[in-house]
Structure 1
Amino acid sequence: MILVRNLLPLLLALLSGCTVTSRHALDQRYGPADPQRFDVPRQPTGGLSYRADVQPILERRCVVCHACYDAPCQLKLGAWEGIARGASDELVYDGGRLSEAAPSRLFVDAGKASEWRQQGFFPVLNERGQTPAANLAASVIYRALQLKHSHPLPETAVLPATFDFSLDRAQQCPRIEEYDSFATANPLWGMPFGLPGLSDAEFATLRNWLQQGAPFEGLPPLPAAVERQVAEWERFFNGGSRKERLVSRYIYEHIFLAHLYFDGDPQHHFFRLVRSRTPPGQAIEPIASRRPYDDPGGEDFHYRLQRERESIVDKTHMPYALGEKRMARWRELFLQPDYPVDELPPYSLAAGANPFVTFRDLPVRARYQFMLDEAEFTIMGFIKGPVCRGQVALNVIQDRFWVFFLANDGSGQAADEFLERESRVLELPTAKGSDAGIIGPWREYAKKEEKYLQDKSAYLASRSSQRGWPDLKWIWDGDGSNPNAALTVFRHFDSATVVKGLLGEVPKTGWVIGYPLLERIHYLLVAGFDVYGNVGHQLLSRLYMDFLRMEGEFNFLSFLPSDQRLAVRDYWYRGASDEVRAHVYGSLARFDVESGIPFRSGDARREFFGLLQQRVAPVADRRHELAGVGDATLQADLALLAAVRGPALSWLPELVILRIEDGARAPRYVTLLRNTGHSNVSSLLREGRELLPEENTLSVARGFVGAYPNAIYRVQRPQIGELARAIGQLGSEEDYRVLAGRFAIRRSDPAFWQYSDELQATHLKLAPLTAGLLDYNRLENR
């Protein structure tokens, strides 16, 4: 032990000396690094265009893994500024951090590359002397591409175990002075990692671009018509009265993650609504706050439409249309009604954690209708926002369920007064900030939620005696035209998706959401969630979401006959504690009012789902339903897949994109979604004990559903029945390997990129506004 102790400083010194020597060698050969080299892009001079020649290759081959918070090494390749920023070995998704981390959001927390160097990011482009040789030799990007070009994937269907594709794998983020050692130790780990390399032509294009010093010509100017709309909307958001300012704050805090576009713009330029130090007409200077309701540092700020500069990727793309109808709608809801705003609320953690107090001056009906009008977007906030990644973050929800909403019938003064009385107990745990504790705050908010449920039950009972028992009229029907009235949520283990429409057969559970619940979901998991927060903040958010899920389920149960509610609750929560079941529907939620729906069967849950389907049928979105394939025979074949049930599905990936080939016609695509059976979803860390494989089901959706495919299959149309039988007979990993060998386009397939390009292009063609690039971070290796 003494010898080891004495040798350790020497070993560390030697290792440090190797790094210094390597860096010294680079400095000697190419000159010292200049951190300001990429603060301003170099204009192209060699006939090569970043936008026309380079960006398409980066999007098709690199952005599909390097985008958003889960980009490996925080290297975001969807914008030139992200490449110039470089990489970091600090994790964004870190469920175990004890203290909040400093945010590192591209275009927000720093601007110039040299500013990112001060925050610990290291360059992946050459920042030394600008010669063609140095621009290649001292570039991490080139070295990674060249490593794959020199060492292609092994010719094997399943890649060896040395390739770790797990989301929690140890990061490998070598700096340029470390890259020789990295390449020697890991010759097969060139980029794209665990996928085929670039074609010779693609490699040559990127090599030439890097050799020229990674020039960038900037974004093209906006069309004059779009500029006019930007100016018009910035005038709207920056109205001077207290009423206008409060309305703009409310809207901003709900759509700050949106990709805003103008409904008359054929090119679909996207923007984000930001708070800026500078007024319209000047360059935007974003206010870098953790949350949209953090103090902006004074009243002198402006809402601005900032042009989106990153590639559009499906996992974060939440489009939201602006136009004449939208502005008229918001004026109708918020500005035309006569109500006073005597004082503007403060900006603080406490204010953001309780929107019912912060925005008490805005009419409740207007707030709820604002969220209902784009309910899919509202729910999508916690599906596609920063909270969405990881098993623990998402095991709070079932694998598939339907979502409905209470009608915004303007219940009047009594409802508003009830919300006013309850506003204090509706405060969210986000009030504790990003460095939160767990045990004490958890007990505090559990007691508040318990009181709210008791008071809510009493209020609903009183309302029922005055307005009639709960019936279908209490459910929002989309006002006869809005498809947001019915949604389906899918969980894919560590990611999730929400779509308009009611997909698949009747689900196990459903949520009915009213205004207080919808608002709390948004402020807990979207506006109030900090992906850079500590473990306490993240766990409090996850644990409180249990309450919100239970409340949505309680609302659903309230429409069932009173003598069937407990049985349905117990079916949903098999194996859960009495305390949990009571919280969903029992002693803590004393609502004994009978349903106003004349049920005719002994299975009221299934019957109610059927009635809800009928209620929303006139507005339900059907784009993903199999009936839309327009071919009865194909529809029947796909129904064979949808009929697969049970333990065999445990071997199937969570989300599979199925390419159906049919002679000379273009391939058609459907998505296979495995719905894992659970006895309940009330446990934070014991999900494995709650699995019920015999209750696994398979949903088949027309087109593309989900941002993270786990596998891509191809099948000849006559073979769909064979695929269904093969899936239904899975019983081991070897069985699955045989199935994948027959149907899967594995990540090792030399033709992978050919299939990928066609798939991505079809996705964007089918949904040019709502689709983005699919992400390959979760592709299997089986």
Structure 2
Amino acid sequence: MTIMSRRISVVFIFLLLTGCAVYATQKMDQAYGLPSLENREQVASADEAAFFNGEVKPILDRRCVSCHACYDSPCQLKLTSKAGIERGLSKDLVYDGTRLLASDPTRLYIDAQSLTDWRKKGFNPVLNERSQSPSANLNASVLFRALSLRREQGDFTQEVLGDEYDFALSRDQQCPTIEEYNAFEKTHPHWGMPYGLPALTDQEHTTITRWLVNGGVIPDPKPLSNEHADSVSDWESRFNLDDLKHRLVSRYVYEHIYLYSLYLDESDVRFRLVRSKTPPGEPVSIIATRRPYDDPKVERVYYRLVPERETKVQKNHIPLALTEARYDLWMSYLYSPDYQVESLPSYDYDVSTNPFKAFGVIPSYGRYRFLLEHAQNTIMAFIKGPVCRGQVAVNVINEQFWVYFVNPEVDYRNEMSVFLNGQAQHLDMPAELSSNALPISSWVLYSEKQKDYMSAKAQLIEKAVAKGLPIDMSLIWDGDKQNQNAALTVFRHFDNATVVKGLVGEAPKTAWVIDYPLLERIHYLLVAGFDVYGNVGHQLVTRLYMDFLRMEGEMNFLLLLPKDERDRLRQFWYREANQTIKDYIFDDYLNVDVPTNISYGTGSHKRELIEKLSQRLKPVLNQDYDVKNLALNSTELAALQHLALIKGGGLQFLPEVSVVLITDKQGAPKDVLSVIHNRAHLNISSLLDEEDALAPEEDTVTLAKGVLGDYPNVFMTVSEDQVIDWVHTIGSMESKQDYVNLLNRFGVRRTNPSFWQVSDAIGELNKKARPMESGVLDYNRLENR
């Protein structure tokens, strides 16, 4: 085919498709009238509101929200709220690792305040916006057509679905409009909803159809109760006091908790802290900026509480209770210390992107205490915030590691504040480059800055040791004997991650010890400073900078080991790493030349150190995930504990996260067990060729009571009298076929007629076990094998 003929063909196809689209639109216009948002301007009656909230919404939550929530929702279709449903879908990707320039953000409730604005941004309706007749309400609704397309397929006839399905997160999303849906049904007859999962039951489909045929009316959220309104008023008055010191503290608090779901009492009503142009007592006018510290372009920022109107989704839910005791702690850390605020920090990027410049006047001890008090949330924000999605984003961390924190009482107190103020220029982070960045030049720039900072930090520690600071267990924060945030476990599940309280699982290969500057930079790099709509350079340089922070946390941990052990262990962690990375890691500027004061009695220093740390933290170790808490007998528990000690072999064929429903002998739901596959690596310093760094002979599994992880890859059901057999089947796996055989016996594949029944049972047990932390799980990573 000549170049000219190919061009003619492309033009012909374009004209053909354009003509078909125009023809389809004309047919829709003739049949159901022109689309108009005025057709959707309906006020729900009391009966309609009761019907939607009592019957329709539970179906949407149980069957649709599992795939359609948050930034990674296919086609940006969020079915978690009225605003999301009515906004509809978009063909534009949020997660796009190829874009050369930052894109315009499309955050629900933030970047547009009306359906007219969303239509201008390219969002298309999934509900009928043409004439409101029963026929139009169904046939002109993408939602109804998608559900109907799935029903037309009928039940699955095979356990593993064929190539006509594409479950890759990077798949080519179609996102058809209603005008394109006739053609879409012909080209993608298997892409009905729920996609690649059992269809709604007859009763569920009838309920949704009844709702849609009557206009798909969605009631407005209920107004706040008088009690909640009063609580909001009280908290807003605290966040908006007029003196400069309070305004600085409120800005600091906001920039750290703006992603949190805030609870004001024991109810399930949640709030979010936002920046507003308007003061308390007036309607909230959200300041829509990419980042929480971007220039608001108003004379005065007000911090307001707005109700969260979306279904609670576990993958982005960061709960925090606003209590009187917590507020008193915050004020004692951030406001009560004796310091003066002469002026508020600038919003210029060289200041606002660097918390050590913006908030340097607040003593670092208070800032650190504030972050430690809810340290799990501080770490969780980078895992459950927008940065979390994708392998490149999280392959900077190991599969399982434990996190400890430097004791704030021995962290140099005021001397640290002086040190950090002097080092602020070395603690700049990639966000100062905005949402467009060049990764290679940035890596060189920030590696030099980090090297200068680490050199100065080494000198600070060496001077402190010379003055009598011991390098021993007293360096580790013990949670003040009551705070469970003192010990955390982080799991990476290939392209997402989880952080939980406690030291969960067997002793990990690596561990971090985090001090204040490191904890603060993790937040400003991966949460406050990360722009999910940024270009590929911004995303890559963020990941590259995180390498420095991981290494720093590891080095802090190594400081507790004998000097001759540190390099040996670091060499093991970075086997076969790129030589440039090794040269950086083992640079003399990064090493602290002081001995440990911890006495070791065995030759296994790392294991002994971990045992000593566990003993120090024993009073505050969270035990909720311990398999010993499962409703099983001692023999069954012993079998599970044996499985947790297996290494290598067929474990490599397990998915990242398996959620197992344990039933009684009659099949009734009894408990939930999570199996986390910890994929071992020779090193994690490589950005793109991770496959070559895997060490499957070192793989392990972590077993945990309850749901651990927000993105299950597979469900299984195991009767209590099958537990030992199930353990043996996993432990004896040697091939991919052995894993298939495991699924044939115990798996609940996405094609299983009982899939939704098992899903509901796991959801109920998860909610019962962790009522505040739990939420709808995400099914976009369910496997098909």
TM-score (ref. length: structure 1) = 0.98
The answer on 1:471 being equivalent to 2:463 is no
Structure 2, unpaired ranges of 5+: none
Separation in 2 of the partners of 1:390 and 1:92? 12
- Counterpart residue number, 1:616: 617
Q: CA deviation at 1:50?
A: 1.9
Contact 1:390–1:495 (8 Å) recurs in 2? yes
CA distance, structure 1, for counterparts of residue 599 and residue 683 of structure 2: 29
Residues 365-764 of structure 1 correspond to what in structure 2 (within 5 A)? 365-409=365-409, 411-629=412-630, 631-664=633-666, 666-764=669-767
1:64-143 alignment, distance < 5 Å: 64-143=66-145
The counterpart of 2:150, out of the listed 130, 148, 151, is: 148
Q: Which residue of 1 aligns with 2:18?
A: 16
2:757 is the alignment partner of 1:772: no
Measured after TM superposition, the shift of residue 176 of structure 1 is 0.6
**Structure 2 match to 1:271:** 271
Are the equivalent residues in 2 in contact too, given 1:151–1:188 (CA < 8 A)?
yes
- Establish whether residue 227 from structure 1 lines up as the match of residue 229 from structure 2: yes
Aligned length: 780
Q: Does 1:178 align with 2:180?
A: yes
Contact 1:550 1:583 in 2 (8 A): no
CA distance in 1, matches of 2:48, 2:698: 61
Q: Is the partner of 1:659 in helix, strand or coil?
A: strand
Mapped contact 1:153–1:195 kept (Cα < 8 A): no
Per the TM alignment, residue 223 of structure 1 is displaced from its structure 2 partner at its CA by: 2.4
Retained in 2: the 8 A contact 1:487–1:500?
A: yes
**In structure 1, how many angstroms separate the alpha carbons of the residues matched to 2:741 and 2:669?**
27
Alignment deviations for residues 618-642 of structure 1 (CA, whole Å, 9 cap, x no partner): 1111100122236423321221331
> 1:44·1:216 contact (CA, 8 Å) conserved in 2?
no
Provide closer, same or farther for how the CA distance between residues 4 and 548 of structure 1 changes in structure 2, counting only shifts above 3 A: closer
Asked whether 1:321 is paired with 2:321, we answer yes
1:299 aligns with 2:327: no
**Residue 198 of structure 1, aligned match among 197, 200, 204:** 200
Residues 256-308 of structure 1, C-alpha deviation per residue, up to 9 Å, x if partnerless?
0000002xx23221000001122222222211110000011122331110100
How far off is 1:41 after superposition?
Answer: 5.4
* CA–CA separation in structure 2 for the residues paired with 1:40 and 1:374: 43
Mean Cα deviation higher: 650-659 or 275-284: 275-284
Tell me the CA shift for residue 753 of structure 1: 0.8
1:153 offset after TM fit, Å? Answer: 4.0
Checking the alignment, whether the CA contact within 8 Å between 1:641 and 1:721 is kept in structure 2 is no
Q: How far did 1:339 drift?
A: 1.0
- Structure 1 residues 9 and 577, CA gap change in structure 2 (3 angstroms): closer
Residues in 1 aligned to 2:561 and 2:187: alpha-carbon distance in whole angstroms: 63
Could you tell me which amino acid in structure 2 is paired with residue 482 of structure 1? N
Superposed CA deviations along residues 337-381 of structure 1, whole A, max 9, x for unmatched, are: 221000100113322321001001111111000000000000001
What residue is the counterpart of 2:54 in the other structure?
Answer: 52
8 Å Cα contact 1:35/1:117 also seen in 2: no
1:36–1:113 Cα contact (<8 Å) kept? no
1:217 aligns with 2:219: yes
Superposed displacement of residue 10, structure 1: 3.6
Q: Which runs of 5+ in 1 are unaligned?
A: none
Q: Which moved more, 1:640-649 or 1:91-100?
A: 640-649
Q: Deviations over 1:106-139 (max 9, x none)?
A: 1110121121110011111111111111011100
Deviation, structure 1 residue 195: 0.3
Offset, 1:585:
4.6
* SS at 1:526 equivalent: helix
Please identify, of 461-470 and 30-39, the stretch whose mean Cα deviation from structure 2 is larger. 30-39
State the Cα distance separating 1:148 from its structure 2 match: 1.1
One-letter amino acid of the counterpart of residue 197, structure 1: A
* CA shift for structure 1 position 725: 2.2
Alpha-carbon distance between aligned partners in 2 of 1:585 and 1:404, rounded to the nearest angstrom: 23
CA distance in structure 1 between the partners assigned to 2:41 and 2:613 by the alignment: 56
Distance 1:625-1:211 versus aligned 2 partners, 3 A rule: same
Paired residue type of 2:435: S
Distance 1:708 1:170, change over 3 A: same
Please report how far the alpha carbon of residue 186 of structure 1 lies from its aligned counterpart in structure 2 after TM superposition: 2.1
Q: What per-residue deviation string (whole Å, max 9, x for no partner) do you get for residues 375-418 of structure 1?
A: 00000011111111111111100000000000001523322221
Structure 2 CA distance for aligned equivalents of residues 266 and 408 of structure 1: 31
Task: Single out whichever of 31-40 and 539-548 deviates more from structure 2.
Answer: 31-40
SS of structure 2 residue aligned to 1:657: strand
Q: Distance in 2 between matches of 1:108 and 1:442?
A: 32
Equivalent residues of 2:360, 2:417 under 8 A apart: no
CA contact (8 A) 2:346 2:352 kept: no
Deviates more, 1:741-750 or 1:273-282: 273-282
Q: Deviations over 1:652-698 (max 9, x none)?
A: 11100011122256421110000011011011011111111110001
Verify the 8 A CA contact 1:352 1:523 in the aligned structure 2: no
Are 1:582 and 1:589, in contact at CA under 8 Å, matched by a contact in 2? no
Report the TM-score, using the length of structure 2 for normalisation: 0.97
Kindly indicate whether the alpha-carbon contact (under 8 Å) linking 2:669 and 2:761 is maintained by their aligned counterparts in 1. Answer: no
Counterpart CA distance in 1 for 2:642 and 2:602 is 28
Of 635-644 and 654-663, the range deviating more from structure 2:
635-644
Partner of 1:207: 209
**What is the RMSD of the two structures over their aligned residues, measured on CA atoms?**
1.5
- Whether the 8 Å CA contact 2:405–2:515 is kept in 1: the answer is yes
Q: 2:34 aligns with which of 32, 35, 43?
A: 32
Percent identity between matched residues is 46
> What does the per-residue CA deviation read over 1:720-779, in whole Å, with 9 as the maximum and x for residues that have no partner?
222222222323322221111111001001111111111111111111101111111101
Q: 1:401–1:489: 8 Å Cα contact kept in structure 2?
A: yes
Query: Are the counterparts in 2 of residues 707 and 775 from structure 1 also a CA contact under 8 Å?
Result: yes
Q: Offset of 1:4 from its aligned partner? A: 4.0
SS at match of 1:24: helix
* CA-CA distance at 1:43 after TM superposition: 4.4
Name the CA distance, whole Å, in 2 between partners of 1:238 and 1:311.
29
Contact kept in structure 2, 1:147 and 1:187, CA below 8 Å: yes
- What SS does the corresponding residue of 2:748 show, helix, strand or coil? coil
User: How far 1:36 sits from its partner (Å)?
Assistant: 4.6
Q: Which amino acid aligns with 1:267?
A: S
More off after superposition, 277-286 vs 659-668: 659-668
- Cα separation, 2, equivalents of 1:763 and 1:302: 37
SS state at 1:217 partner: coil
Contact 1:503 1:624 (C-alpha < 8 Å) held by counterparts: yes
- Tell me, what secondary structure is at the counterpart of 2:619? coil
Q: CA separation in 2, counterparts of 1:588 and 1:334? A: 33
SS at match of 1:49: helix
